[in-house]
Structure 1
Amino acid sequence: MGALIGEIIALSLMALALGMDAFSVALGMGLLRLRLRQIFYIGVTIGLFHIVMPLIGMLVGRLLSREFGSIATYAGGVLLLWLGAQMIMASFQREDGSQLFPHGAGLLFFAFSVSLDSFSVGLSLGIFGARTMVTILLFGLFSTVLTWLGLFVGRHFQQWLGSYSEALGGSILLAFGLKLLFS
């Protein structure tokens, strides 16, 4: 039971880290003064992508784990380190606001681009053997809620947290990458 609680806490922190990327981008998108219905659909769409992308990544990661064993675990750790570093660097290089209009194909492309990092994390978690259902539900829930929060904060306070939230998310992924490599 203690191991399950520990895994849920670790997965929740990872979900928070991935959701921070969606939050920071949603802050800029919130400047568009979206209607509540649009905010709802944007959050749900991003949440669904944060379920599908890590699920695909986990399935591929499990296949790699069976084929390549411990080498795949180290590769997963390196992947998380790389992704965390990328998020931190991007947090300091990003331009203000989002240029995508959040409906139709623009929303799908936006949700896909924001959830690409969750595929990579899912790949690492699949290699590590994390619980699939718990992982994807937490990832979807956190990204949906953080997207809604980012849209609302952006709508009311404009550029409040911005790049700091993405840097925090990258730091969390770096920590988990180190844990995979050295545990």
Structure 2
Amino acid sequence: MTLPVTLLAFGMSMDAFAAAIGKGTALNRPGLREAMRIGLIFGVIEFITPLLGWLLGQTAAQYVSHWDHWIAFVLLCFLGGRMILSGARPASGEPVVLQRHPFWVLAVTGIATSIDAFAIGVGLAFLDVPIIPAAIAIGMATFIMTTLGVLLGRVLGKLAGRQAEILGGVLLIVIGAVILKEHMLPAA
């Protein structure tokens, strides 16, 4: 694996890392096993999306590139808003402690943070970069960074309590806004 592919792989994993911190803060002391489960879900999605981009190629890219940032923005805002509402909801009786995120919530978050990997897959097709090693590198980097992000979120969640879930939701919305901004503003 070349240095550019390694750097690309870790660059692609940064959105997932930030989202994983938010997911980790919302859980009740997630252990390594849960962190690895979340990392695996995000990693597999991040492995698949550049493959899909590669397969769909230039034809789909001209259509998807016009709205991929909006899809990511809406999904991340929806999930972030859900986390904020959950964290802001007054505690009634015993607090509800989230032991594990539902698969569908993790999958939607993983998809939202990996839409850019789809476009990267299209770009790699034009650069004649072998897609399988690149997709494996992106998936592995995302697995590692997401697992670390959940564990970091565990520490932050322990320190911040219920506000951590609100912070995690805000973080997802900020990620969505950054994705939207990067696509809406011309490159400097």
TM over 0.5: yes
Which structure 2 residues correspond to residues 38-57 of structure 1 after superposition, within 5 A?
Answer: 38-57=34-53
Rg bigger for which structure? 2
Quick one: which of 5, 12, 25 aligns to 1:18? 12
CA distance in 1 between partners of 2:82 and 2:13 (Å): 16
Identity across the alignment (%)? 26
Equivalent in the alignment of 1:150: 149
> How far does residue 98 in structure 1 lie from its aligned partner after superposition?
7.7
Q: Which one has a larger percent helix, Structure 1 or Structure 2? A: 1
Which structure 2 residues correspond to residues 138-177 of structure 1 after superposition, within 5 A?
Answer: 138-158=137-157
CA distance in 1 between partners of 2:12 and 2:101 (Å): 20
Equivalent in the alignment of 2:96: none
Q: Indicate the RMSD between aligned Cα atoms, in angstroms.
A: 4.1
Equivalent in the alignment of 2:21: 27
TM-score calculated relative to the size of structure 1: 0.62
User: Do 1:51 and 1:136's aligned partners in 2 also have CA atoms closer than 8 Å?
Assistant: yes
Count of residue correspondences:
150
TM-score calculated relative to the size of structure 2: 0.61
Instruction: Flag the 1:115–1:123 CA change in 2: closer, same or farther, 3 A.
Output: same
Q: Does residue 1:127 correspond to 2:121, yes or no?
A: no
Equivalent in the alignment of 1:60: 56
Of the structure 1 ranges 98-107 and 124-133, higher mean CA displacement relative to structure 2 is found in 98-107
1:88-128 deviation digits (Å, cap 9, x = unpaired) = xxxxx9x9898397222222212222221211111111122
Q: Does residue 1:113 correspond to 2:112, yes or no?
A: yes
CA distance in 1 between partners of 2:141 and 2:121 (Å): 15
Instruction: Flag the 1:104–1:96 CA change in 2: closer, same or farther, 3 A.
Output: closer
